[in-house]
Amino acid sequence: MASVGLSYDASSIDVLEGLEAVRRRPGMYIGDTGPRGFHHLLYEILDNSVDEALAGFASRVEVTLHADGSASVRDDGRGIPVDLHPLLGRPGVEVVMTVLHAGGKFSGKVYKVSGGLHGVGASVVNALSEWTEVEVTRDGYLWRQTFSRGNPTSELVKVGPAQGSGTTVRFKPDREIFGDRSFSADAVRGRLRELSFLVPGLVLVFRDDRGDEPFEEVFLQRGGLADFVDLLCEGSERLFDEPLVVSGERDGVSVEVALLYEDSDIERLYSFANLIPTRDGGTHVSGFRSALTRAVNEVCSRRKLLNGKKFDSISGDDLREGLVAVLSVKLPDPQFEGQTKGKLGNVEVKGAVESVVYEGLCSLFEEREEALKAIVEKAIKTREIREAERRARELVSRKGTLSSLDLPCKLADCSSRDPRECELFIVEGDSAGGSAKQARDRHFQAILPLRGKILNVEKANLHKALSNAEIKAIIQSLGCGFGTKVDLSRLRYHKVILMTDADVDGAHIRTLLLTFFFRYIRELIEGGHLYIAQPPLYLVRHRKGEVYCYSEEELRRVTSGLDGYTVQRYKGLGEMNPRQLWETTMDPRRRVLYQVELEDAAAAEELLSLLMGGKVEPRRRFIERHVREVRNLDV
């Protein structure tokens, strides 16, 4: 082993002062420097403004995406303090923006509950931004201070008299950290819509000034979590009409949950702690699940609903399928796992949630027998097909070799056994599949051709989905399982690439595949393993050679000023020979891939249920509402 250094003593130890550590290791504070971490900057500032609303001091929050790539958040709260800090001798706003673990949320005296508890949010955003400007309206005056990459670039200035109160933070993420990323309007709108259900009555305004015409949307909800669940279930077949809503408080922990059941095999549970999405669950989710199981079994026992059945109780697994629920807890001292707050760890919360939800559901089940019977019938049906599904899982689970499965005629595997370098192309059609097999690099690229359109899993149960030959082939090829049994450590290919034709049929097949992955192997998306290939739309031939164009705009640019050229429109992958397919779509040095990312799970759930679900009327209304936005129509 080569020697890195000749000596190791105290002088070798680096001490990072102030916010330097944030810039050196941003992932420690915001999770990553990809799209999620990039948007996390905005959400940190947004959380601070919403905390003012939770404390009862703000009624309106405005988020604006500006044309220069910056974003701003404005609220009508009390305004960040501008007086001098008694220990540091610097204005409060400067301390908040430049000192880690500085804020008014630690003691519980200023904010009873808050999402930005760590006290590093605003300072981390400041450290990771090219520039930041803070304006505070307070005590009859407007104050302003500017920063760059965590350091003040001006003193706090009293601009002049002003009415009202509030804070505006505008920042531009640092390109040295994040590259050329930009804010996703859909992701930000999704978060604001989410907050409007979690904080009923709070006015949330979204503005996007980046387009030709400014866009503005106002989010204001009065119905809370019940309306949130109603929205999530739009387009799906409900087992009962009105959501079950439970709320209460135990030991300083406020608990609220709304739930419905739909005719589906999927559980959709969204949890929040102090309004922060806890994507990885936590103790509050454990308490809810335990309470749901206990309450159903308790009332079933009283009413003898399971008499004559093959079993005398219902398990938690039986109750998960078809559940659509939103759980929100508020507590004074949340313990999250990391600054990105993906999982709640407070042990005491489990008992508080379980107590409130158990008592509330027992009472509701006594009043709403139709809801209880629908839930029990669904659970019994789930139990009855469990064994059949278990056998199906065993059939499609990876055995360590594919020789015993009927796959060699369909899957052209690669020779490498290192998943980190292996790629699986899921290709539309046998013709394109044949070209792809000839074009590929056999060392690391595998080809799985699909015959026709796969099953729409949004309209089918799990048993029917597993009976579909194309879906079964995908699951077998990936080797990582599906549903609740996904293990990405067994994934055979770290890049799974959807390669479909550049027409309406290709788009439909791609949508069906995305629906399948979202519903049954969502971890593949969350792990960053799912991609979409971008084949060219046109081939331009002229005296100087050939040019592939991937968009109408690129075609116009290439052909502008050219004489004596021809244009070939590719309608299908099968129209390209193996050399062309390799050069344009499969060669890692020249191809264009789009990584599939999940920015807003709730919005994705809603859209998939609406567009791919069984109810026609909501889909028709959606099409009528958005018909003027259609840009490319293939008829």
pLDDT of 431 reads 82
**Does the fold of domain 225-384 match that of domain 20-219?**
no
**pLDDT reported for residue 598:** 82
DSSP 66: -
Q: Where are the domains of the chain?
A: 20-219, 225-384
- Residues 599, 187 contacting (CB under 8 angstroms): yes
Distance CA 496, CA 595 (A): 10
Please give the structure tokens belonging to residue 150.
């965590």
CA–CA dist 146, 136 (Å, integer) = 12
CA 246 to chain CA centroid, nearest Å:
26
Classified as helix, coil or strand, 453 is coil
Q: Which residues are catalytic?
A: 428, 501, 503, 505
d(CA 630, CA 617): 20
* 575 DSSP 8-state letter: G
Cα 329 to Cα 208: distance, rounded to the nearest angstrom: 31
Q: Which residues of the chain are modeled with pLDDT < 70? A: 1-18, 101-120, 310, 338-341, 386-409, 600, 602, 628-635
> What is the C-alpha separation between 322 and 302, in angstroms, rounded?
24
Instruction: Report the alpha-carbon distance of residue 325 to residue 225 in Å, rounded.
Output: 9
Question: What is the distance between the alpha carbons of residues 525 and 496, in angstroms, rounded to a whole number?
Answer: 10
The number of helices, as runs of H, and strands, as runs of E, in the chain is 22, 22
The reported pLDDT for the residue numbered 240 is 95
Q: Is 436:586 a contact under the CB 8 Å cutoff?
A: yes
Backbone CA torsion sign across 199, 611, 519, 243:
positive
Task: Name the strand (E) or helix (H) holding 173.
Answer: strand 166-173
pLDDT of residue 251: 92
pLDDT at 3: 47
3-state DSSP assignment of residue 582: helix
Tokens matching residue 399: 């055995």
pTM score, whole prediction: 0.73
Alpha helices in 249-346 (DSSP H): 283-303, 316-320
For the record, the structure tokens of 85 come out as 């800090």
- Mark 474-491 as b/e (b = at least 16 C-beta within 10 Å): bbbbbbbbbbeebebeeb
At position 63, the amino acid (one-letter code) is: V
- Report the Cα 309 to chain-centroid distance in Å: 40
Q: What is the fold, at CATH topology level, of the domain defined by 20-219?
A: Heat Shock Protein 90 (3.30.565)
Q: Are 480 and 407 in contact (CB under 8 A)?
A: no
Identify the residue whose tokens are 């990405």.
488
- The residue among 126, 121, 102, 118 whose CA lies nearest residue 177 is 126
User: What is the DSSP secondary structure assignment for residue 15, as one 8-state letter?
Assistant: -
Please enumerate in sequence order all residues whose Cβ is within 8 A of that of 232, keeping only pairs 6 or more positions apart, or say none: 268, 270, 324, 326, 602, 605, 606, 609
Taking the domain 225-384, which CATH number applies? 3.30.230.10
